[in-house]
Amino acid sequence: MKSSVSHAIVLFVILLSGPWSMGQTRTPEKLSDSLDSEQIVVFVCEHGAAKSIVAAAYFNKLARERNLRFRAIARGTTPQDEIAVSASKGLQADGLTVTEQKPVELTRNNVTKSFRVVTFCALPEDYYRAARVEEWNDVPSVGDDYKKARDIILDHVERLINDLQSKK
């Protein structure tokens, strides 16, 4: 018993002396400050599993490459349980990673705190009054033809990034 208590004390001391105690990681306040400096673009599709995932991945890649202070998140109006295999495999083949671990439901808070909302599906009417909403209704199903959907999404994303960059 004494041995396990002394091990616990040693572990506690090690934890206290870790890098987070020396100011090497962000405190919650500093973390929120850095997030406030990034503006959020929310991509929304019905299931939060394909179109919004592809759009967010490409948006984040281009925004990073151009040093823009924007970050995209993917959301769904009625999220399914898992990211669509077609989106996941397609992005992986393109050398990109999925932005979310699993589909996430769109909240009013996502909308009101965003810089812009881009939707591939209908949203509740009051969301259109709460934020600037753009509709991209010309994108086919990612599951039917990933490359065609990706190319159309990428064309839209590039135009959006160019627009944001011109206002920088």
Question: Could you state, in order of their start, the residue ranges of all structural domains in the chain?
Answer: 38-166
Could you tell me the pTM of the whole model? 0.78
pLDDT band at residue 100 using 50, 70 and 90 as cut-offs? confident
CA angle 17, 21, 22 (to 5 degrees): 100
Q: Chain-centre distance of CA 120, in angstroms?
A: 15
Q: 7 falls in which pLDDT band (50, 70, 90)?
A: very low
Q: Is the pLDDT of residue 15 over 60?
A: no
CA-nearest of 164, 162, 166 to 38 is: 164
Residue 164 sits at φ, ψ, to 5 deg, of -65, -40
pLDDT mean over 23-39? 43
Distance (Å, rounded) from C-alpha 28 to C-alpha 34? 10
CATH number at 38-166: 3.40.50.2300
Calculate the average pLDDT of the chain.
83
Each residue of 145-162: pLDDT tens digit?
999 999 999 999 999 999
pLDDT of residue 168: 63
Task: Specify the pLDDT at position 124.
Answer: 92
Decide if 149 contacts 120 (C-beta within 8 A).
Answer: no
